[in-house]
A and B are shown apart, each in its own frame.
Chain A
Amino acid sequence: MTENVLSWMTFSPLAGMVVVLLLPSARHNLIRWVSALATLPPLLLGVWLYGHFDRANPGFQFVEKAPWIPTYNIQYFIGVDGISISMVLLTALLTFLCIFASWGIDKGVKGYFALFLMLDTGMMGVFVALDFFLFYIFWEVMLLPMYFLIGIWGGPRREYAAIKFFLYTLFGSVLMLLAILALYFTTEPHTFDMTQLIAQSGKYGTSVLPMWPFNRLGWGFQHAVWMALFIGFAIKIPAFPFHTWLPDAHVEAPTAISVILAGILLKMGAYGILRINYPMLPAATADLAYWFLGALGTWNIIYGALCAMAQKDLKKLVAYSSVSHMGYVMLGMATFTPQGINGAVLQMFNHGTITGMLFLLVGVIYDRAHHRDIDGFGGLAEVMPVYTGVTAVAFFASMGLPGLSGFISEVLVLLGAWQKYAILSILGASGVILTAGYLLWTIQRVYLGAINEKYKSLPEINGRELFTLIPLGIIVIILGVYPNAVLDLLRASLDQLNQIVIPHLS
């Protein structure tokens, strides 16, 4: 089992899906437990992987390789390195917890859990795939279950949100497909193998293409491919101006799916840029990411925070806070400094845990009050003290309070940014203040103040809900005091990645 650890992690949920489909649809609890069991192996193997991962090796580990369609050089090729390991662990953890967060689903239980497990396989596959074709397949495999999960089990505007998510993401991924094909035909022999595509990165031309609009922009083949890939990934991140699907999808999705969306799916965009754009197209990255990506990230930070401040719906507030926090990831990536890029990937991990908690917490209150209107509550701290305590941890972590994980990654990003673009660093730091503004204001309106008579007898958070929140809370605190637990995993690979791009910076 240990030689194929990544395959087991990827496909055990799929096996679980097959079992779930064979179960009688009336046995709700059985289906739930089977699903939990199917997501347990990735988690346990993830723990094992954490122990056995060689932190000094920047290359790919636990590699598996087999021919799939030899005629076209398509392989089943998977492995992890420092860029992907944290995401693999995050996926394993969040999907396991989200099964429990989905316990309350009682409509179409069989379909829900089957789709959820399929989604799990797709997500895990994206992070481990090292063959570009395989990567694309996994990337797209996630779309279908997500469409149905939002569309069937979502809120009142679920149909609109689901199709909007679907169309945006498909548009991005077909652009990616063209870029994949363009790279494939440039390599010799034609290959989808990412390590080969990186090794042959010198072949992707940078001389200016002789047609409009490329001649005006001074873009070569490499720049055009970079932009096609970037748009595909930016939609997922979501970077301004492609973010508009996110508030709709997050708000309408059921709680567990919001957690998955914010915790894992958004990371795929940033992960894709680091895995593909940076090493494969280093010259274009140096030309296009420098300033552009940093400025876009800063704009995301401020724009997302301002939008969050204006929200009346608690879930929408958390959704916009994601836009803001993913801005730090982009800003950090664009610095090409060790601090910045490590901070960016750590921020991806931290955002996954913190925002996961926030969505779970919103779900808890929504299940009880059946609305999420920020102004509709008040004084919840007295009614639900434990719940409020957990919320405070999550909110303060999101705000970047020292001692909690969000602080470390944001400081690393800003440290990196200061060395390259001081002005963006200052603007980015102001985002922290805005974040504190909307989060503290929300705490004040929802948890403090006079008790709303309507909600005087709300039941306290229950054991199952705490079970989903506590592990994330523990991670948030541990990483706040000992960030090396994750940073150690990343450092070697990310430093190597920086070294690929830096020579191209003029």
Chain B
Amino acid sequence: MDLGNLESLKFFYPEAILTGTILLLILLDLVLPGKKTLAFLAVVGSFFSLWATLELYQASPGWLFHRMIILDNFSLFFKVVSLAAALLVIWISLGCREINEIHHGEYYTILLTSTLGMFFMASASNLLMAYLSLELVSITSYILTGFLPHNRRSSEAALKYLIYGAVASGTMIYGMSWIFGMTGTLDYARISEVLLQGQANRVSLFIALVFILAGFGYKIVFVPFHMWSPDVYQGAPTPITAFLSVGSNAAGTAILIRFFFPAVSRLAEGGNWLFISGVEWPHFLLMVSMVTMTLGNLCALNQQNLKRLLAYSGIAHAGYILMGLVVLNNDGLKAMLFYIVVYLIMNLGAFLVVVMVANETGKEEIGAYRGLAWRGGAIPAVCMAIFLFSLTGLPPLAGFVGKFFLFAAVIKQGFYLLAVVGIINSVISLYYYAGVVKTMFLDFPEPTDQYITMTANTAALLGVLSTLTVFFGLYWGPLVQYTNQSLKFFIK
């Protein structure tokens, strides 16, 4: 299926609904007095978009808009993930005191625009489209990061993010221009055809791929493109940190897989992918994966600010997720998709507890969690323990199943060294996650520590996320079926 502009429109409802919602939000922001209703409008719009996305599973896969974007299970999966992230983040924002003081209309507009960007990142099948969508997500992220007025940290974070982002995307587009120079096309399918003829110079192709990795890696946050993340995570409003940690990470993974698998590799039998011989990017990524998880975990050990700790833990998880990529096998890619869903649930849960505690205490330091379980916060503390142990990868929690599939893929392909590095990292990560749990349960509160209360709204969300974390740890059959089916590319 290769459709032109007009025929494509009927497969474009999710994006269209989201765009409509964004425009409506901007207009209503001018006239509506009650700003809370804007949040509900954003939720309704996202729900309709989600519904339209699910409807598209009936359609046959193909190119839309003259091969600019692609419609297949893989892109639909990442659209669902981005919308889920957006919906949950809006829900978290409703109960977040930090957010109450800012312009709601703009906040939700930009949040949804960023989600729209992620839609395009998931479905781009042309380097130009990939670049534009990535920039759309980046620019909206810069704004969201700096959204807190009169907060120096927030502004500093936004500026840092912008500078790093500019360098990374500059490098990436330079790499893309090399690809264009070598192949004469920006279309993924045609790039693939040209590269498979083996005409391209291997060294320059490798350099081009590494340059492109700079842009993608900066979104997924892997070493050495990770430097922005701790500062940005700490400075940004907490719901936005949560959004960046799951949403833009997932979208970055989508664009990475789409480019490096169907476009520059070839599917052989048994679900194995063959890379162009002589262009050793998988080995490069293998090193990157090991360094990323190790550096993330080691840096997290000494963090005192929980958001910063979660930033480093996010870096470590980017390393784990990359394990699925370097094995060059469909099992690994499926494990990545599964892990992305699980990571979305548990990481958003952890940030929700950060929001709840910050609402009462105004602090994000680990010290603010002292004796949380003994001063009214037993339920948030238990949920936080569930999320953190799930991030560590302990059964019977969802994070374990995610890691289990990743390690299974790694062992199956015989990457034993990577597996050993991965498990040692899991043990290291237990130390800092358990450190937070220790502060919440094993330390006792002092008289000056505030009592923690929950609103019905946040309690409900907390219940949903922690139940899902436990449920997918015990029975993940349907979820794994869904993620396995999501690994279907239109171009092979």
Contacts and interface: CB of A to CB of B under 8 A. Distances in A.
- Whether both chains belong to one complex is answered with yes
B395 A151 contact: no
Interface in B389-412: 389, 394-396, 400, 404, 407-408, 411-412
Nearest to B473: A137
Contact of B400 (A68, A140, A147): A140
Contact of A71 (B438, B441, B480): B480
Contacts of B438: 151, 159, 162-163
Given A71-B481, A141-B396, A178-B411, A147 B434 contact: yes
A73 to B, nearest CB: 12
A140 B441 contact: no
Interface in A164-206: 166-167, 170-171, 174-175, 177-178, 181-182, 184-185
A178 B481 contact: no
A502 interface: no
Interface string A19-59: 00000000000000000000000000000000000000000
B441 A185 contact: no
B431 interface: yes
A144 B389 contact: yes
Contacts of A140: 394-396, 400
A335 B411 CA distance: 34
B407 A178 contact: yes
Interface residues of B, number: 30
A144 B426 CA distance: 15
A459 interface: no
Interface string A133-162: 000110011011001100110000011001
B427 A167 contact: yes
Nearest to B405: A72
Given A148-B441, A166-B434, A178 B396 contact: no
Interface string B402-446: 001001100110001001100110110011001100100110000
B404 A177 contact: yes
Contact of B395 (A70, A71, A141): A141
B411 A182 contact: yes
Contact of B411 (A69, A70, A141, A185): A185
A178 B435 CA distance: 26
Contacts of B451: none
Given A177-B404, A181-B408, A151 B441 contact: yes
Interface string B465-482: 000000000011100110
B430 A167 contact: yes
Contacts of B434: 147, 163, 166
Nearest to B428: A167
Task: Pick the most buried of B400, B412, B420, B442: most chain A CB atoms within 10 A of its CB.
Answer: B442
B323 to A, nearest CB: 13
A143 B385 CA distance: 13
Contact of B407 (A152, A163, A177): A177
Contacts of B430: 166-167, 170
Contact of A181 (B394, B407, B424, B484): B407
A177 B484 CA distance: 23
B394 A152 contact: no
Given A152-B441, A166-B434, A181 B411 contact: yes
Nearest to B392: A170
Given A71-B480, A71-B481, A174-B423, A184 B441 contact: no
From B400, B407, B427, B476, residue with most partner A Cβ within 10 Å: B427
A147 B435 CA distance: 12
A140 B430 CA distance: 13
Nearest to A148: B441
Given A136-B395, A170-B430, A69 B477 contact: yes
A245 to B, nearest CB: 13
B401 to A, nearest CB: 9
Contacts of A178: 407, 411, 416, 419-420, 423
A158 B441 CA distance: 12
A140 B477 CA distance: 20
Contacts of A141: 395-396
B442 A159 contact: yes
Given A174-B423, A182-B411, A184-B408, A163 B431 contact: yes
Given A174-B426, A175-B423, A137 B407 contact: no
Contacts of A143: 394
A137 B474 CA distance: 9
Contact of B423 (A151, A177, A182, A184): A177
A175 B423 CA distance: 7
Contacts of B481: 71
Nearest to B400: A140
Contacts of B420: 178
A125 to B, nearest CB: 11
Nearest to B404: A177
A137 B395 contact: yes
Contacts of A171: 427
B423 A185 contact: no
B316 to A, nearest CB: 15
18 contacts: A136-B395, A151-B441, A162-B442, A163-B434, A166-B434, A167-B427, A167-B431, A170-B426, A170-B427, A171-B427, A174-B423, A174-B424, A174-B427, A175-B423, A177-B407, A178-B423, A181-B407, A185-B412
Given A147-B434, A162-B438, A174-B426, 16 more contacts: A143-B394, A148-B441, A151-B438, A151-B442, A159-B438, A162-B442, A163-B434, A163-B435, A167-B427, A167-B431, A170-B426, A170-B430, A178-B411, A178-B416, A178-B423, A181-B419
The 7 nearest A-B residue pairs measured at CB: A174-B423, A181-B411, A140-B395, A151-B442, A137-B395, A171-B427, A185-B412
Interface of B: 389, 394-396, 400, 404, 407-408, 411-412, 416, 419-420, 423-424, 426-427, 430-431, 434-435, 438, 441-442, 475-477, 480-481, 484
